[in-house]
Chain A
Amino acid sequence: MPYLFNTPDQKNEMLETIGARSVDELFQQIPAPLRLDRPLDLPAPRCELELEAEIRQLAASNANTANRVCMMGGGAYDHFIPSAIDEIASRGEFYTAYTPYQAEASQGTLQAFFEYQSLICRLTGMDVSNASLYEGATAVSEAAFMAMRVKNRYDRVVMLGSVHPEYREVLETYCSNLPTEIVTVPTPNGVADPDAVREAMSESTACLVIQHPNFFGCLEDAKTLTDIAHEFGALAVVSFDPISLGLLQKPGEYGVDIAVAEGQSLGVPLQYGGPYLGILACRQKFLRKMPGRLIGTTVDRDGKPSYVLNLQAREQHIRRDKATSNICTNQGLLALRATVYLSLMGPQGLREVAELCCQKAHYAAEQLTQIDGLELMFSGPFFKEFAIRCEHDPTEILEKAQAAGFDVGPNLKQFSTIDSGNGFLVAITEKHTKADIDRLVNVLRG
């Protein structure tokens, strides 16, 4: 066992100090009938060398971006990750530390989270950001719960049909033992129709949940929809793509109350869906209703500027069943990655990434739709992702791409809550070259 220190001699010395005859005696609190009388049925141990060989083999049977091109979207994207991020996030002083409850022993982490909050505020144009949540879908649910508390309206949440179907499923799960009704506004044209949204809203609606750009990659008329939410006294919750804010208006600029996002694009690897980064920022007046951890500045005994966990009185370890959420963690290491990412990109870099995504996605859409049988599913503007409609089930097309080393999708058929016929998503990032796109087009044409 490579991680245990005590030698047999030391164990005996320790037992003597304790006043016990054996290690087994230390377990005497556990009644004998409750003890397991056999070894656990687990695989035999493997040393590092053996295990590495095995994992390498299993990993090789998975798709990877080193020898394939990943143009898959649907909420997780193959963006470029600068090397400096791994270098910083792999420092043990960051990743093996705990929640910074002892501020004196955690100023590094606290300052990094404070900088994260500051960057998210600047990115979104919102007043306050927490220090992160689990991921994009739970961030939407937390925002909806927060809106219910703010408005004291627990009956109804309205969500657009163009929001990521898994985000909707999560909110439904979160509300499954509550009387809250979740109303979905259909979006047959890929974006919301303001009149249909108005119809679904009511005076008892806590919030309207918008995704912009949405699940299909399309831009919503976010300002109009935000205004509609406010007409009914509800909060406007917008789930945004952080990369898109290199080009698009900030949620704060069009009046959003709670801005949430999946932050995976900000330097977090795909790693089969998690862990990712939940972003949540809001207006100042809702501060005390926010879920999650907050870092603030203060002064220490000597008047020295310092950082601390702030407003903990909202949290579960103080307020128990009256807390703003049950969350006990943030995604610290991923918030750190996002902080480093935004620092490395700066305003110009983020803009260039966004422009590259947008230009290349439009080129890809143009080329792909020249293939017989493929057309854009929706006519509205899109940012880096778009939906393609096919004449038949797209499985065959996607398999053809896959055989040639291109992972494209997801196939929209896999989402039971979406009724868009035969279609699939394509997501283009700054990593994809014209040659990649042309090659895919040739494969699908042939």
Chain B
Amino acid sequence: MRNTLATQSLFELSHAGRRATQLPECDVPARPLDELLPAESLAEAPPELPEITEPDVIRHFVNLSTLNMSVDTHFYPLGSCTMKYNPKRHERFAGMPGIVDLHPYAPESVSQGMLQIMFEMQQMLGEIAGLPAVSLQPAAGAQGEFAALLTAAAYFRDKGEDRRKVLFPSSAHGTNPASAALAGFETVQLEESPGGLVSIDELQSHLDDQTAVFMITNPNTLGLFERDIKEISKRLHDVGGLVYIDGANMNAILGITRPGDFGGDMMHYNVHKTFTGPHGAGGPGAGPIAVRDFLGDYLPGPIVTQSEDGTYQLTDPPKSIGRMRSFFGNVGILLRGYFYLRTLGPDGLRAVSENAVLNANYLKALLKDVLPVPHGEFCMHEFVASAKALKTDRNVSAMDIAKRLLDFGFHAPTVYFPLVVAEAMMMEPTETESKETLDAFADTIKTIVTEDPEFLRNAPHSTPVNRPDEVHAARNPVLQWVSGPA
């Protein structure tokens, strides 16, 4: 139980005159401030921040943390998000002196350890992708997409070609069209074939000398491997275009097949998904990109290179598109990915994908009678079930089931994505879940679908709040604390 103080806002907890931090006395001869700074640039008073003691701050945030579901506390089968276990050792390694406190402009002579790690990370990501040139700069998967599209644009410009079109299937992540538009391309969406895979005929009808890039997620967002990917790539290459692989679903194919081998020219990784950088309630992630040799000169820099004498340095590729962000990249997250790869090695990495796919197919088999999966006999690391029949027969929606799962201590799957499946429930158990957890989850869903529809439509019943009104929020946006929520 919590009392009402537990979720009071910082501003309600504030009392003038309280404080949490003590700072050292000024040990240099202090001069009047208006001698140091022009009077007109000074504020009359410091910002109106809350005044709180340290114990209150701790209690406030610890209480807030307990209102969350997380991988450390709950099964989190959120499709397309790869919510796998985040090893604790990574947090400790990433926090070591010399790692956590290294300044980004520290000279190369006192950063060799860090540069070696980042160099090895580039090598490993290149090998896993089958695409040897790697830039670790992009700060997130979406920025990786953007960086790769700018890389492609620079490559075409260099060849004297003005290609304006980027294609993607209707099941693509929203970031694909958004990144293409941001990069200045025209966007073209392909219609899905009935089998849930890209239709080569549909693709072909859009291919011409204006086609720059085809963006495709493989395995796709339905959890299916695009088995025609080689032919798809050939068609793109025949018109001089490039194939971009959205790496969001790499968890299914580590060590089994490689984007570079099945025709991709460029890809991004989501280090926070595939290689266990924790999701941080929405970030930070890291979105390194890997490309074919002939695109390597255009990559965003800096990248790490090794000299003949074995030392490492930061280098800009010769025709680099430039920087995507300041400094090197989201190193703290890249490190966690590095530690993960070094823990697993080649066999361990392959075992990750085998177990992810086994777990997904097992869960799919357990649920097939109550939540059928319209596409595919077997799935990769995730699948999209449909609650359409339940909606028709009992007026129970995917959202109702998702919300009721929260009452049973399970996070909800992804609902209503991809749009090509009615009442979609996209589930991704990941490899770090046990058979027992999957059994319990499936049993719970089987129980839920027998419950009273009215009761389900009012779920969840045990969470701190119940179906907040998003329409009201959007109509009257309250985005900072005024005198109390709502």
Bound-state CA distance A135–B431 (Å) is: 32
Please indicate which of the listed interface residues A25, A66, A177, A316 has the most CB atoms of chain B within 10 Å of its own CB.
Answer: A177
In this assembly, does A446 line the interface, its C-beta being within 8 Å of a C-beta of chain B? no
Residue in contact with A97 in the complex, picked from B68, B324, B362, B481, CB distance below 8 Å: B68
Binary per-residue interface labels of chain A (267-298) against chain B in the complex, 1 for a CB within 8 Å, 0 otherwise: 00111111110000000000100000111111
In this assembly, does A204 line the interface, its C-beta being within 8 Å of a C-beta of chain B? no
In this assembly, does A396 line the interface, its C-beta being within 8 Å of a C-beta of chain B? no
Known: A137-B326, A308-B470. A347 touches B114 (CB 8 A): no
Select from chain B the residue with minimum beta-carbon distance to A242.
B47
Bound-state CA distance A117–B174 (Å) is: 25
In this assembly, does A397 line the interface, its C-beta being within 8 Å of a C-beta of chain B? no
- Specify which chain B residues have a CB less than 8 angstroms from the CB of A433 in the assembled complex: 24, 27
In this assembly, does B412 line the interface, its C-beta being within 8 Å of a C-beta of chain A? yes
Instruction: Tell me, rounded to whole Å, the shortest Cβ–Cβ distance linking B267 to chain A.
Output: 15
- Specify which chain A residues have a CB less than 8 angstroms from the CB of B257 in the assembled complex: 30, 34-36
Inter-chain contact A137/B65, CB cutoff 8 Å: no
| Contact segment of A194-202, A226-234, A338-346, A369-377 | A338-346
Instruction: Tell me, rounded to whole Å, the shortest Cβ–Cβ distance linking B25 to chain A.
Output: 9
Select from chain B the residue with minimum beta-carbon distance to A10.
B435
Select from chain B the residue with minimum beta-carbon distance to A45.
B345
Residue in contact with A344 in the complex, picked from B43, B54, B328, CB distance below 8 Å: B54
Select from chain A the residue with minimum beta-carbon distance to B8.
A111
Inter-chain contact A274/B325, CB cutoff 8 Å: yes
Inter-chain contact A97/B279, CB cutoff 8 Å: yes
Bound-state CA distance A222–B230 (Å) is: 56
Inter-chain contact B97/A118, CB cutoff 8 Å: no
Bound-state CA distance A167–B325 (Å) is: 7
Inter-chain contact A353/B23, CB cutoff 8 Å: yes
Inter-chain contact B432/A4, CB cutoff 8 Å: yes
Select from chain B the residue with minimum beta-carbon distance to A395.
B107
Select from chain A the residue with minimum beta-carbon distance to B97.
A64
In this assembly, does A26 line the interface, its C-beta being within 8 Å of a C-beta of chain B? yes
Inter-chain contact A332/B403, CB cutoff 8 Å: no
Inter-chain contact A253/B43, CB cutoff 8 Å: yes
For chain A residues 146-200, which have a beta carbon within 8 Å of chain B?
164, 166-167, 169-170, 172-174, 176-178
In this assembly, does B146 line the interface, its C-beta being within 8 Å of a C-beta of chain A? yes
Bound-state CA distance A302–B202 (Å) is: 49
- A-B interface, 5 closest residue pairs, ranked by CB to CB distance from nearest: A273-B327, A92-B72, A273-B104, A45-B345, A333-B280
Bound-state CA distance A36–B417 (Å) is: 31
Binary per-residue interface labels of chain A (19-56) against chain B in the complex, 1 for a CB within 8 Å, 0 otherwise: 11001011111110111100111111111100110011
Instruction: Tell me, rounded to whole Å, the shortest Cβ–Cβ distance linking A184 to chain B.
Output: 14
Please indicate which of the listed interface residues A65, A270, A435 has the most CB atoms of chain B within 10 Å of its own CB.
Answer: A270
In this assembly, does A407 line the interface, its C-beta being within 8 Å of a C-beta of chain B? yes
Bound-state CA distance A336–B282 (Å) is: 11
Instruction: Tell me, rounded to whole Å, the shortest Cβ–Cβ distance linking B408 to chain A.
Output: 12
Bound-state CA distance A119–B48 (Å) is: 8
In this assembly, does B361 line the interface, its C-beta being within 8 Å of a C-beta of chain A? yes
Select from chain A the residue with minimum beta-carbon distance to B472.
A298
Inter-chain contact B100/A298, CB cutoff 8 Å: no
- Specify which chain A residues have a CB less than 8 angstroms from the CB of B72 in the assembled complex: 92-93, 96
Bound-state CA distance A272–B85 (Å) is: 25
Instruction: Tell me, rounded to whole Å, the shortest Cβ–Cβ distance linking B229 to chain A.
Output: 7
Known: A42-B346, A94-B68. A300 touches B469 (CB 8 A): yes
- Specify which chain A residues have a CB less than 8 angstroms from the CB of B177 in the assembled complex: 316, 320-321
| Contact segment of B236-244, B336-344, B388-396 | B336-344
Instruction: Tell me, rounded to whole Å, the shortest Cβ–Cβ distance linking B113 to chain A.
Output: 4
Inter-chain contact B281/A305, CB cutoff 8 Å: no
Inter-chain contact B97/A35, CB cutoff 8 Å: no
Bound-state CA distance A410–B107 (Å) is: 9
Select from chain B the residue with minimum beta-carbon distance to A66.
B97
Residue in contact with A298 in the complex, picked from B116, B224, B469, CB distance below 8 Å: B469
In this assembly, does A404 line the interface, its C-beta being within 8 Å of a C-beta of chain B? no
Inter-chain contact A346/B107, CB cutoff 8 Å: no
Inter-chain contact A138/B10, CB cutoff 8 Å: no
Residue in contact with A13 in the complex, picked from B81, B101, B184, B435, CB distance below 8 Å: B435
For chain B residues 14-46, which have a beta carbon within 8 Å of chain A?
18-21, 23-24, 26-31, 33, 36-38, 40-43, 45-46
Residue in contact with B41 in the complex, picked from A105, A249, A315, A362, CB distance below 8 Å: A249
Instruction: Contacts A105-B463, A315-B174, A346-B52 known; list 12 others, CB within 8 Å.
Output: A27-B256, A70-B106, A88-B61, A91-B61, A93-B68, A115-B11, A276-B326, A298-B473, A299-B468, A326-B175, A336-B281, A350-B47
Inter-chain contact A247/B346, CB cutoff 8 Å: no
In this assembly, does B300 line the interface, its C-beta being within 8 Å of a C-beta of chain A? yes
In this assembly, does B329 line the interface, its C-beta being within 8 Å of a C-beta of chain A? yes
Inter-chain contact B139/A274, CB cutoff 8 Å: yes
Residue in contact with B174 in the complex, picked from A86, A306, A317, CB distance below 8 Å: A317
Known: A316-B178, A327-B142, A355-B33. A58 touches B330 (CB 8 A): no
